[in-house]
Amino acid sequence: MKAISLNHPLIEHKLGILRDKNTGTKEFRELVNEIGMFLCYEAMKDVSLETVEIETPITKMKTGKLDEDRFAFVPILRAGMGLLDGVIRVIPNAKIGHIGMYRDEETFEPVNYFFKVPKDIENREVIILDPMLATGGSAIDAIELLKSKGVKKMKFLCVIAAPEGIERVEKAHPDVQIYCAHIDENLNENKYIVPGL
C-alpha cells in the first residue's frame, strides 16, 4: 500500500504554522490536535457501517452507524498523545492503548519501555498515532508488538513522514496503511526529518 498524504490547502496552511520555530507550545498542540482529526477522517473513509433504523422528527429512516467498539487508538508515547485528543473527537468510544518508546541517540533505534493495550485488542482495528515517521523504527516495533497480541488490522497516522521511513515500514509491514499530512524531503545525518516540525 502506498502512503496516503493529505494534499489540501487547509492542511498546508496548518503545517506551515506548525513548522515555524516561532509557534508557541499551546498553538502547536492545538494544530496537531486539529490535524489528527483530519487524518482520522481520511483513515475512516473505507470503514463499513451497520444499517440501523432511527426516527427523525418527521419519519423513520434507515441510516449507517459506525460500531465505535471495533476501534482502538494506540499513541506512541509521548509525542503520539498530541494526536489522541483529535482522533478521540472523531471516534469518542474507541478504546485506548499506549506504547512507550524513545530513540537511542547513538544507534537511532527505538527502545521500548512501556506496552499496555485493551485485553480484547485482537478484536479491534488499531490506529497507531505518532506525529513523525522518521526512520520507521518505532513504527515497525509498534506494529510488531500489536501483531504479537493478535491484531490483524492496523493503520498508522502521522503528521509528517520521511520517504526513508515510509519505505522501511511498507517493506516490513505492507499490510499497514500509512496516513500522513505531508511527506517531507528526507532525513538528515542525525536522522531528523527535513524540513520537519
pLDDT tens track for 23-60: 999 999 999 999 999 999 999 999 999 999 999 999 99
Q: At 104, is the pLDDT very low, low, confident or very high (cuts 50, 70, 90)?
A: confident
**Mean local confidence (pLDDT), 155-168:** 97
Q: Is pLDDT of 91 > 80?
A: yes
**The pLDDT value given to residue 17:** 97
CATH class assigned to 4-194: alpha beta
**The pLDDT value given to residue 166:** 97
**Mean local confidence (pLDDT), 75-93:** 92
What is this structure's pTM? Answer: 0.92
Whole-angstrom distance, CA of residue 76 vs CA of residue 67: 24
Q: At 169, is the pLDDT very low, low, confident or very high (cuts 50, 70, 90)?
A: very high
Give the residue extent of every domain in the chain. Answer: 4-194
CB 101 within 8 A of CB 155: no
Mean pLDDT rounded to a whole number for the chain? 94
